Structure 1
Amino acid sequence: MYGKLTKSGKHLLDPMERVSEVLFGLIMVLTITCSFSIAGAGRTEVRQMLIGALGCNLAWGTIDAAMYLMARFSEHGQGIVALRAVRAAPDPKRAYRIIANAMPPLLASVVSLAQFEEMRQKLIQTPELPSRPRLSKDDWLASLGVFLLVLTATLPVVLPFIFIRETTRALRISNAIAIATLFAAGYAFGCYSGHRPVAMGMLMVIVGSALVGMTIALGG
Structure 2
Amino acid sequence: MSTITPAGHTEPERRIQILNTVDRVCELCFGLFMALTFVGAVKAVSAGVDAGYKMFLAAFGCNLAWGLADAVMYLVRTLADRGQRLKLGLAVQREKDEALAVRALRDALPQTLDQLVEDADLERIRARLAKASTLPPRASLVRDDFVGALGIFLLVVLGTFPVALPFLIIEDVTTALVASRTLTLMILFAAGFSLGRYTGGGAIKAGFAMIAVGVLLTIAIIALGG
The Cα shift of 1:19 comes to: 0.8
* Equivalent position to 1:16, from 19, 22, 44: 22
Q: Which amino acid aligns with 1:27?
A: F
Distance 1:141 1:44 in 2: 36
Q: Which residue in the other structure is 1:93 paired with?
A: 99
* Equivalent position to 2:188, from 182, 186, 190: 182
Bigger radius of gyration among the two: 2
Q: Which amino acid aligns with 1:171?
A: L
Contact 1:9–1:138 (Cα < 8 Å) also in 2? no
* Equivalent position to 2:150, from 122, 139, 144: 144
- Secondary structure in structure 2 of the residue aligned to 1:127: coil
Alignment TM-score, normalising by the size of structure 1: 0.87
Distance 1:74 1:181 in 2: 32
* Equivalent position to 1:203, from 198, 206, 209: 209
Contact 1:13–1:142 (Cα < 8 Å) also in 2? yes
Give structure 1 stretches of 5+ with no counterpart: 1-6
Give structure 2 stretches of 5+ with no counterpart: 1-12
Distance 1:39 1:134 in 2: 46
Cα deviations across residues 25-76 of structure 1 (Å, max 9, x unaligned)? Answer: 1100000112112886333111110000100100110010011011011012
Q: Which residue in the other structure is 1:216 paired with?
A: 222
Identical positions, percent:
38
Runs of 4+, deviation exceeding 6 Å: none
The Cα shift of 1:102 comes to: 3.9
Distance 1:112 1:217 in 2: 50
Distance 2:66 2:90 in 1: 36
Contact 1:38–1:168 (Cα < 8 Å) also in 2? no
Are 2:35 and 1:29 aligned?
yes
Q: Which residue in the other structure is 2:125 paired with?
A: 119
Q: Which residue in the other structure is 2:4 paired with?
A: none
Contact 1:58–1:151 (Cα < 8 Å) also in 2? yes
Query: Which stretch shows the higher mean deviation, 169-178 or 158-167?
Result: 158-167
Distance 1:145 1:62 in 2: 11
* Equivalent position to 1:135, from 132, 141, 164: 141
Length, aligned pairs only: 214
Cα deviations across residues 165-200 of structure 1 (Å, max 9, x unaligned)? Answer: 222111101101111111211222222233232222
Q: 1:92 to 1:194 in 2, by over 3 A?
A: farther
Alignment TM-score, normalising by the size of structure 2: 0.85
Q: Which amino acid aligns with 1:59?
A: A
